[in-house]
Amino acid sequence: MTSISMDSEQPGLSPMLRDISRIVLSEEEIRRRVRELGAQISQDYAGLNPLLIGVLKGVLFFMSDLLRAITIPVTVDFMAISRYAPRQPAKGPVRLIKDLDEAVEGRHLLFVEDVIDTGLTLSYLLRTLKARNPASLEVCTLFNKPEHRLADIPLKYKGFDLPDRFVVGYGLDYQEGYRHLPFVGELKPEILRLGRSGSEDVKRANLEKAGH
Amino acid sequence: MKASARSFAHPVEEEFARILDFYGIPWQYEPRTFVLERDEQGNVTDAFTPDFYLPEQDLYVELTTMQPHQIRHKNRKVRRLRELYPDVNIKLFKRRDIRSLLLKFGVEDYPEMMTNKL
């Protein structure tokens, strides 16, 4: 466990740091593991020109760092899907709201995820991609939470197993907040009970500063 | 079967079924009762009916919103089921797991849903 420095070099993060009870994975631990994954992928996919695919938005941070750790030619593309809307069944089942720009038939695909928890989202996306006849389709996730897995997801690359706790940072959010924390930290239980996120604190602080 | 086409014993179960529907994961509600114990005459004295079965995953799922100190009985049933039916895959989603799941899928009124015992 790493203690949290409240004298962060990024003062803008301070309101969010107050909401974190402990750091689960430090910035340095994440950076080191991403470099290792990049090296392994570079070795395994040499000469295959793989297409790395991510689903927006949480994967942005990992994808960005992973791409820079890969030393072979690759291309990248993103998908986005509709979110589950509680109490609004009329919105229908999950659907793509942004499809890939690249054709994938015959390509070697590596699906890159920030975290796999239940596996429900990824299960849908893998089914969609498989139907397009790629040459291969593998999964790389930085964070794995196997406790709540409801769909089988074969993992070729995995960064870390995460504890069965509600964690945020490095792409992981709570109510769209905390994604940009450079580490992964456990959110204080009272934040979850109150149902508010650090991003709301920041908005509130900015409004106060602006004299509203 | 769709969540909207049937009734559930608890709102958490209904929400869980809706989430599965959303992602196109087939499910069955309480499809099988496992006998855990019989008396000397062969009568069933203890049994367990998990809440959901996911056929594509060959996985049973049991949900409970009971507080941690209240689930000894449920834990025992799951443990006994695993002993007697080692080929059966079952996951027990406890209160904290359900909270994580509902938070992840943006169910903001989850505290109210968890007040009734499941």
Helices assigned H by DSSP within A45-82? 60-69
Q: For strand B52-54 and strand B59-63, is the pairing parallel, antiparallel, or unpaired?
A: antiparallel
Q: For strand A108-116 and strand A51-55, is the pairing parallel, antiparallel, or unpaired?
A: parallel
Of A19-33, A73-87, B61-75, where does the model show the most confidence?
Answer: A19-33
Looking at every residue in chain B, the average pLDDT score rounds to 89
Higher pLDDT, B71 or A137: A137
A68: phi then psi, degrees, rounded to nearest 5: -75, -10
Task: Give pLDDT, residue A206.
Answer: 46
Which of A73-77, A102-106, B65-69, B84-88 is least confident?
B65-69
For an interface test with A, the pick among B104, B109, B114, B115 (most A C-beta atoms closer than 10 Å) comes out as B104
The answer to whether the CB of A118 falls within 8 A of the CB of B49 is: no
Contact A93 B100 (CB under 8 A): no
For residue A143, list its beta bridge partners.
Answer: A115, A160
With bands split at pLDDT 50, 70 and 90, how would you rate the model's confidence at A168?
Answer: very high
Question: How confident is the model over A172-181, as pLDDT tens digits?
Answer: 988 888 999 9
> Does the pLDDT at position A189 exceed 90?
no
What span, in angstroms and rounded, lies between the C-alpha atoms of A116 and A142? 8
Residues 6+ apart with CB under 8 A from B55: B26, B27, B28
> Does the pLDDT at position B73 exceed 50?
yes
- The encoded tokens of residue A2 equal 């790493």
Q: Dihedral through CA B113, CA B68, CA B79, CA B29, nearest 10?
A: 0
Higher pLDDT, A148 or A72: A72
Across the interface, which of B4, B97, B109 has its CB nearest the CB of A147? B97
> Looking at beta carbons, which residues of chain B come within 8 Å of A124?
23-24
The answer to whether the CB of A175 falls within 8 A of the CB of A200 is: yes
Task: Give pLDDT, residue B113.
Answer: 74
Task: Give pLDDT, residue A12.
Answer: 61
> Does the pLDDT at position A1 exceed 80?
no
- The encoded tokens of residue B23 equal 């992602």
For an interface test with B, the pick among A96, A97, A120 (most B C-beta atoms closer than 10 Å) comes out as A120
Task: Give pLDDT, residue A176.
Answer: 85
Question: How confident is the model over A69-94, as pLDDT tens digits?
Answer: 999 999 999 999 998 888 776 667 89
Coil/strand/helix, residue B107: coil
A24: phi then psi, degrees, rounded to nearest 5: -90, -45
Residue among A138, A129, A142 nearest A62 (CA): A142
A117 is catalytic: yes
Higher pLDDT, A34 or B95: A34
Task: Give pLDDT, residue B3.
Answer: 75
Which of A9-13, A25-29, A191-195, B16-20 is least confident?
A9-13
For residue A160, list its beta bridge partners.
Answer: A143
Residue B28 in contact with partner chain A when CB distance is under 8 A: no
Task: Give pLDDT, residue A194.
Answer: 65
What span, in angstroms and rounded, lies between the C-alpha atoms of A178 and A201? 11
Q: Average pLDDT for residues A157-174, to the nearest whole number?
A: 91
With bands split at pLDDT 50, 70 and 90, how would you rate the model's confidence at A136?
Answer: very high
Higher pLDDT, A175 or A194: A175
Looking at every residue in chain A, the average pLDDT score rounds to 86
pTM > 0.90: yes or no: no
